[in-house]
C-alpha cells in the first residue's frame, strides 16, 4: 500500500517541487522466488521532490514499512568486508573517544545482522540492537548481539528509558532515510540518549548523489536524501545539536553525523554548510538538470549494452543490490541483455531481480560461465569486488560501471573513481 506525501517529511511545508520521476517501479529489495515469477508484481511510482523551506529532498510515495522490511528482507550487512572494516573502525574510535566501558550502553538503530554491534560485544561493552527485519535480527542474536525485532519509535524509546535503558552512544547507519515518521524517530533519539551521550548517524550524502548522478540509490526504502542544511534543521527541531560531520566515501559518498544534547559545534559543520550554500544545494536550480543527466546516463548505458550484445558478447551483472533494481528497471535492462546476476549473499541466491526477473546466482558463476562483461550494480564496492574477482578479470572478463558515466573498466585501473 502506498500513499503520496504532499507535505515535507521534516518541516511539514507543502511547497514541494518535483525533481525527478523514475516511473513506476517494483520494490527494490523484493527479490522474487520462482513461484512468484508468474504472480502480478506490485509497481509503485517513484518521484523525487525538493522542499524549498528546509532543503530536504524526498520521495512522495510511502510504501508501508511492514511491506518493505518484512521477514524475508534480504539485506545483510555482513557480506561486505569493506563495510565490516568501516564499522569496526568507527566502533574502535567511539570506544576510545567516549571512554566506553562495561558500564556503558551502545544502542544501534537498524542493527541488521549484528555486523557493527559485535565489535562492542567483543570489547565487553553492553549493546542493544533494534531492527524490524526478523531474518537479520535472528542472525544478530545467533552472533551474540542482543536484538529486539521492532521498529524504533518515540514511544519505544520512552519504553526503554522506563526500563532504565538509556544510551551512551546511539548508532544509526543508513536508517534515517528509511523512516516514514522522521520527526518521531529523531524525538526517540533525544529521549533514548543520555545527557552526555552521542548519536552517530550515517546517511548517503545528497550532494554526492546529485554531483555523481547516483540516481540508482533512489528507491522506495529511501524516503529522504539528506544535505547538512536539512539535517541541522531536523535535529534542531528536537533540541539536538549537529556537533560534527564527516564526509565518507562509503555507499557512493556519505555523511557521518555526531549529534548531542549539548551544542559543541565543530567548524566542519559550517564548512559543509558554506559549501552547500555556494553550490546552491538549498535552491531548486541545483536540481534542475538532474533529470536530464539521469536520462542521458540511461540512454548511454543501454546503447553500450546493446552494442556489446550485437557483437555477440555475453553480459552478466554483479550485486543483487537495491540500487541495481532501480537501475535495471529505469533503464529497461532485462534478460535479453543480462544472462544472470551474481551475489555473495546466500539469502539472495536462487531468487530473481524485481521487475526484470534476472536470475541471481553465486559469484562462482562469473568464472564457470565466463560472461565477456559484467555490469557492476554494486558499484559502491567496486574496488573490493574487482580485487575479489581477479580470476574473472585474468580470464579476460571486464566490468562495466554504470554511474556517473557508463564505462568499461580495464583492470590496470587501480581504483574506480
Ligand atoms: O540503505 C541501504 C544500503 C546502505 O544498503 C539499504 N536500504 C539496502 C542496501 O542497499 P543496496 O542493496 O543497494 O546496498 P549494497 O550494500 O550496495 O548492495 C551490495 C550487494 O552486493 C549486496 O547484495 C551484497 C553484494 N556484494 C557481493 O555480492 N559481494 C557485496 C560485496 C561487497 C561483495 O563482495
pLDDT tens for residues 276-322? 999 999 999 999 999 999 999 999 999 999 999 999 999 999 999 99
Q: 27, 76, 79: which to mutate for ligand 1, most atoms within 8 A of CB?
A: 79
Atom number, ligand 1, closest to the C-alpha of residue 343: 28
Between 267 and 6, residue with greater pLDDT? 267
Residue 411: pLDDT over 80: no
pLDDT grade for 243, boundaries at 50, 70 and 90: very high
pLDDT grade for 5, boundaries at 50, 70 and 90: low
Ligand 1 pocket check for 220: Cβ under 6 Å: no
- The CATH number of 77-279 is which of 3.40.50.150, 3.20.20.150, 3.40.50.12780, 3.40.50.620? 3.40.50.150
Nearest residue (CA) to ligand 1, atom 25: 319
Please state which CATH class domain 290-409 belongs to.
Answer: alpha beta
The pLDDT score that the predictor gives to residue 412 is 64
Count of Cβ atoms closer than 10 Å to residue 408 Cβ: 11
Question: Grid coordinates in use for 246?
Answer: 564527516
- Do 77-279 and 290-409 come out as alike in CATH topology? yes
Atom number, ligand 1, closest to the C-alpha of residue 174: 1
Ligand 1 pocket check for 300: Cβ under 6 Å: no
Distance 378 CA to ligand 1 centre (A): 6
pLDDT tens for residues 145-161? 999 999 999 999 999 99
Buried b (16+ CB within 10 A) or exposed e, 77-113: bbbbeebbebbeebbeebbeebebeeebbbbbbbbbb
Q: Work out the percent of the chain whose per-residue pLDDT is above 70.
A: 97
Distance 319 CA to ligand 1 centre (A): 7
End-to-end CA distance of the chain: 38
Average pLDDT, rounded, for the chain: 96
Ligand 1 pocket check for 221: Cβ under 6 Å: yes
Residue 323: pLDDT over 80: yes
Between 133 and 5, residue with greater pLDDT? 133
pLDDT grade for 413, boundaries at 50, 70 and 90: low
Domains of the chain by residue range: 77-279, 290-409
Distance 76 CA to ligand 1 centre (A): 8
Residue 6: pLDDT over 90: no
pLDDT tens for residues 122-143? 999 999 999 999 999 999 999 9
Residue 47: pLDDT over 60: yes
Residue 414: pLDDT over 60: no
CA dist., res. 278 & res. 215, Å (int)? 22
Atom number, ligand 1, closest to the C-alpha of residue 381: 32
| Contact call for residues 54 and 382 (beta carbons, < 8 A) | no
Q: 75, 249, 358, 399: which to mutate for ligand 1, most atoms within 8 A of CB?
A: 75
Atom number, ligand 1, closest to the C-alpha of residue 219: 7
Atom number, ligand 1, closest to the C-alpha of residue 75: 8
What is the pLDDT averaged over residues 34-52?
Answer: 96
Distance 51 CA to ligand 1 centre (A): 29
Tell the burial category of 6 from Cβ atoms under 10 Å away from its Cβ (0-12, 13-18, 19+): exposed
Nearest residue (CA) to ligand 1, atom 17: 378
Nearest residue (CA) to ligand 1, atom 21: 319
Closest CA to 60 of 225, 297, 239: 225
The pLDDT score that the predictor gives to residue 72 is 85
Ligand 1 pocket check for 84: Cβ under 6 Å: no
The pLDDT score that the predictor gives to residue 152 is 98
pLDDT grade for 175, boundaries at 50, 70 and 90: very high
The pLDDT score that the predictor gives to residue 43 is 96
CA dist., res. 178 & res. 34, Å (int)? 28
Ligand 1 pocket check for 384: Cβ under 6 Å: yes
The pLDDT score that the predictor gives to residue 4 is 62
Residue 182: pLDDT over 60: yes
Looking only at the bridges linking them, the beta strands covering 167-173 and 106-109 are parallel
Ligand 1 pocket check for 323: Cβ under 6 Å: yes
Q: Work out the percent of the chain whose per-residue pLDDT is above 90.
A: 95
The pLDDT score that the predictor gives to residue 66 is 87
What is the pLDDT averaged over residues 234-257?
Answer: 98
Ligand 1 pocket check for 381: Cβ under 6 Å: yes
Ligand 1 pocket check for 87: Cβ under 6 Å: no
Residue 417: pLDDT over 60: no
Ligand 1 pocket check for 320: Cβ under 6 Å: yes
The pLDDT score that the predictor gives to residue 251 is 96
Ligand 1 pocket check for 252: Cβ under 6 Å: no
Distance 14 CA to ligand 1 centre (A): 34
Count of Cβ atoms closer than 10 Å to residue 64 Cβ: 12
Ligand 1 pocket check for 380: Cβ under 6 Å: yes
What is the pLDDT averaged over residues 218-233?
Answer: 98
The pLDDT score that the predictor gives to residue 415 is 56
Q: Is 390 helix (H, G, I), strand (E, B) or coil?
A: helix
Amino acid at each position: 500500500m502506498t500513499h503520496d506525501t504532499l507535505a515535507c517529511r521534516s518541516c511539514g511545508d507543502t511547497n514541494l517541487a518535483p525533481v525527478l520521476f523514475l516511473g513506476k517501479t517494483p520494490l527494490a529489495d523484493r527479490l522474487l522466488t520462482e513461484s512468484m515469477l508468474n504472480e502480478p508484481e506490485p509497481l509503485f511510482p517513484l518521484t523525487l521532490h525538493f522542499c524549498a523551506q528546509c532543503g530536504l529532498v524526498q520521495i512522495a510515495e510511502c510504501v508501508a514499512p511492514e511491506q518493505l522490511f518484512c521477514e524475508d528482507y534480504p539485506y545483510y550487512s555482513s557480506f561486505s568486508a569493506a563495510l565490516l572494516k568501516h564499522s569496526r573502525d568507527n566502533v574502535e574510535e567511539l570506544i576510545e573517544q567516549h571512554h566506553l566501558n562495561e558500564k556503558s550502553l551502545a544502542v544501534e538503530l537498524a542493527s541488521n545482522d549484528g555486523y557493527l554491534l559485535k565489535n562492542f560485544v567483543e570489547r565487553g561493552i553492553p549493546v542493544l540492537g533494534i531492527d524490524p527485519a526478523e531474518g537479520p535480527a535472528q542472525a544478530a542474536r545467533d552472533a551474540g548481539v542482543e536484538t529486539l525485532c521492532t521498529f524504533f519509535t518515540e514511544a519505544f524509546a520512552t519504553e526503554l528509558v522506563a526500563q532504565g535503558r538509556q544510551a551512551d552512544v546511539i548508532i544509526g547507519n543508513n536508517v534515517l532515510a528509511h523512516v516514514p515518521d522522521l520527526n518521531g524517530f529523531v524525538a526517540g533519539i533525544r529521549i533514548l540518549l543520555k545527557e552526555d551521550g552521542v548519536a552517530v548517524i550515517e546517511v548517503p550524502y545528497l550532494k554526492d548523489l546529485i554531483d555523481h548522478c547516483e540516481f540508482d540509490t533512489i528507491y522506495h526504502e529511501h524516503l529522504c536524501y539528506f544535505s547538512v542544511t536539512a539535517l541541522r534543521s531536523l535535529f534542531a527541531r528536537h533540541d539536538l545539536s549537529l556537533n560534527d560531520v564527516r564526509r565518507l566515501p562509503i555507499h557512493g559518498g556519505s555523511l557521518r553525523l555526531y549529534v548531542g544534547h549539548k551544542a559543541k559545534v565543530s567548524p566542519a559543520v559550517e564548512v559543509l554548510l558554506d559549501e552547500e550554500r555556494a553550490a546552491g544545494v538549498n535552491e531548486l536550480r541545483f536540481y534542475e538538470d538532474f533529470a536530464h543527466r539521469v536520462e542521458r546516463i540511461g540512454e548511454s548505458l543501454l546503447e553500450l549494452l546493446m552494442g556489446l550484445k550485437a557483437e555477440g558478447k555475453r553480459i552478466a551483472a554483479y550485486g543483487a543490490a537495491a540500487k541495481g533494481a532501480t537501475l535495471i528497471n529505469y533503464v529497461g535492462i532485462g534478460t535479453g541483455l543480462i544472462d544472470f546476476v551474481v551475489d555473495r549473499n546466500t539469502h539472495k541466491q536462487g531468487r530473481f531481480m524485481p521487475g526484470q526477473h534476472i536470475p541471481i546466482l553465486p559469484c562462482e558463476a562469473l568464472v564457470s560461465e565466463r560472461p565477456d562483461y559484467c555490469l557492476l550494480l554494486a558499484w559502491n564496492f567496486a574496488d573490493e569486488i574487482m580485487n575479489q574477482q581477479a580470476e574473472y578479470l585474468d580470464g579476460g572478463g571486464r566490468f562495466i560501471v554504470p554511474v556517473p558515466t557508463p564505462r568499461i573498466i580495464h583492470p590496470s585501473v587501480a581504483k574506480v573513481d
